[in-house]
Amino acid sequence: MVYLYNPAVKPGLTRKFAKPWIGPCQITKKISEMNYEIVDLKGKRQVVHINRLKKSFNPVLWNPKPGQKPERNAPRRLAKPQNANGNSQDDSKIGPYPTSVPTKLGN
């Protein structure tokens, strides 16, 4: 099993979102040291140079099981810090300094 590199982009599409690798394809015949005949999933046969092929590793792992939905992780939320009474503190800081001004200055 291999993937075929096809950098051509259809008119009207951007290269940024194009998928350059097509496949997986099956190698059916070795024509020479550098050229191979491949068959894609639709049954299309073509002869390609070895530079346009990339080996596919364990394609079974990439196929989802029937009825399986992709797993989404919930975003983690940070716990609010608690004061000495056990109550959670409100977010009264902007940057590294507190928003409230101390009433007494230490001498």
Number of compact structural domains in the chain:
1
pLDDT for 2: 92
DSSP per-residue letters across 52-96: GEEE---GGGGSPPTTPPPP-PPPP-PPPPB-TTSPBPP--EETT
Mean pLDDT of 1-16: 90
pLDDT digits (tens, 9 = 90+) for 36-70: 999 988 889 999 999 999 998 875 665 666 776 66
Domain coverage including residue 41: 1-9+22-56
CATH code for the domain of 37: 2.30.30
CA distance 28 to 39: 7
Structure tokens at 82: 């608690």
For residue 106, is it within any domain? no
Predicted TM-score (pTM) of the model is: 0.51
Reduced to 3 states, what is the DSSP secondary structure of residue 14?
coil
- 100 domain residue, yes or no: no
Q: Per the domain annotation, does 26 fall within a domain?
A: yes
